[in-house]
Structure 1
Amino acid sequence: MDPDNPVVSLCAQGMRAEAEGRPADAVGLFQQAWEAAGDDYEACVAAHYLARHQPTPRLTLHWNQEGLRRAELVGDERVAAFRPSLHLNLAKAYAEVGEPERAREHFVLAAARLEAVPPGPYAEWIRIVIAEGLRATGAVPPRDTDGLVTALLGRLCERGDLKALGMILPAHLADLGTEDDRMRLVTALHMVHAGRWLPEDEQRLLGRAIGSSAAVAP
């Protein structure tokens, strides 16, 4: 998003106010952004942020719907990297009002548009949140059906093995259910196994988790 755009600037100020614990100021700035919007692009941005501070789930849903509706009217690439977030927030809003089918639909759409998000911490974060939503709504079946990876991660957490957790956990949490994601997890497990720094019982559990994960079809 263009930081010099006045609507984007107001929304950025609103996010700073939100981070500083000034929700009323944040709402005011997002409302100003909505009132200042001069085209569908600016209205899309303002609606997206205005949805964050609504008093009821239905109003939150309304503003998220409005954000996506305006994005679809833009007709160019300015909103391409923004669309996964629009679909994600709409999915969460549908889940909140008890419409799981619509929630699942938008989690799937969010996942399908992730490639437009530039690599970096934000892309990693939104991928994890989308993956969680896909699993929660049944759009992606659980990968770790025998619980071996989960059991291993639990052991690593108990011991505070940050090195092993740092290698395995991102691939586990960000799994969108694709074959590439399965291979990313298997590769991470193999790397930890090759390091051979885990206690013997965990090393055996890791070996079983590798065999199970490698055998699971996407």
Structure 2
Amino acid sequence: MNPENPVVQLCAQGMQAEAEGRETDAHALFRRAWESAADDYEACVAAHYLARHQPTPEETLHWNQECLDRADRVADDRVKGFHASLHLNMAKAHQDLHHPDQARAHYERAAAHLDDLPPGPYVDAIRFAVADGLRTTATPAEGPLTDLISRWCARGDLRALALVLPPYLGDLGTDEDRTRLTTALHMVHAGRLLPRDEQRALGRVLASPAA
């Protein structure tokens, strides 16, 4: 985003106010940004920040939808990197309103736009959030593996977690992601890093058709 753009500057000031705990000032600055927007691009930027300061899930969804609609109207390279985040925000808003089908649809759209973002911590954070959303809206939710990972977290089994958590948290359900996760699970199993009962449980996970 162009730091010289007046709407962007207002949003940056709003984020500074937010970081300082001045929520009322932040909301006022984001509202000024929205009222100052001269085109769909600027309105998209302002709506994104306004969505962060709404009192109800319904109003949060409204502003996230406004943001996405404006980005769709712009439809050029200025917003190409926005869509993964915008669909993630829509998914979370729908999930807060207990709309699991709509939430999952937006998580899937967010996943489809991840390749629009350059490598780095930002896209990793979006990927992990999208993967978590896909897991929480899955039917049925994953059972045995999730239970095993919870047990490793509870006792701080860093060796198993170091191998499995990165591919698990970033799993979007693609063949490549599933292969990466299965490889990590095989490494834990082959290394005999677990207590006997967990070793057997992991063996059953790996033997299941989904593994």
1-side partners of 2:195 and 2:43: how far apart? 55
- 1: CA distance between counterparts of 2:103 and 2:144? 29
Q: What amino acid does structure 2 have at the position aligned with 1:57?
A: P
Could you list the runs of 5+ residues in structure 1 that have no partner in the other structure? none
Q: CA deviation at 1:200?
A: 4.6
Q: Identify the residue that residue 108 of structure 2 maps to in structure 1.
A: 108
Q: Is the 8 A contact 2:160 2:188 kept in 1?
A: yes
Q: Give the structure-2-normalised TM-score.
A: 0.85
Asked if 1:20 corresponds to 2:20, the answer is yes
1:188 aligned to 184, 188, 193, which one?
A: 184
Aligned residues of 1:141 and 1:177 also touching (Cα < 8 A): no
Matching of residues 66-215 of structure 1 within 5 Å: 66-138=66-138, 142=141, 144=142, 147-212=143-208, 215=209
Matched, 1:61 2:61: yes
Q: Percent identity?
A: 63
Q: What's 1:36 paired with?
A: 36
Identify the residue that residue 5 of structure 1 maps to in structure 2. Answer: 5
Relative to 1, partners in 2 of residues 1:186 and 1:83: Cα closer, same or farther, differing over 3 Å? Answer: same
- Measured after TM superposition, the shift of residue 116 of structure 1 is 0.9
Which residue in the other structure is 1:216 paired with?
210
Would you say the 8 A contact 2:160–2:193 is kept in 1?
no
How many pairs are equivalent?
211
Q: State the Cα distance separating 1:205 from its structure 2 match.
A: 3.7
Report if aligned partners of 2:159, 2:193 keep a CA contact under 8 Å in 1. no
1:135 positional shift:
3.2
Q: CA deviation at 1:52?
A: 0.8
Q: Is the 8 A contact 1:135 1:141 kept in 2?
A: no
TM-fit CA distance, 1:64: 1.0
- The alpha-carbon distance between structure 1 residues 118 and 95, as it changes in their structure 2 partners (threshold 3 A), is same
TM-score (norm 1): 0.83
Task: Decide whether the 8 Å contact of 2:87 with 2:107 is kept in 1.
Answer: yes
- How many Å separate the matches in 2 of 1:98 and 1:148? 25
Q: Shift of the alpha carbon at 1:136?
A: 3.2
Partners of 1:107 and 1:134 within 8 A in 2: yes
Q: What is the root-mean-square deviation in Å for CA atoms of aligned residues?
A: 2.4
Q: Output one character per residue of 1:32-60: Cα deviation in whole Å (capped at 9) or x when no partner.
A: 22123222111101101101111222221
Q: Which amino acid aligns with 2:188?
A: V
| Distance (whole Å) between structure 2 residues aligned to residue 103 and residue 151 of structure 1 | 24
Residue identity opposite 2:65 in structure 1: Q
1:101 CA drift (Å):
3.2
Distance in 2, matches of 1:95 and 1:79, equals 24
Closer/same/farther in 2, CA of residues 110 and 141 from structure 1, 3 Å limit: farther
CA distance in 1, matches of 2:3, 2:210: 45
Contact 1:81/1:117 (8 A) holds in 2: yes
Q: Pick closer, same or farther for the CA change 1:200–1:101 going to 2, 3 Å.
A: closer
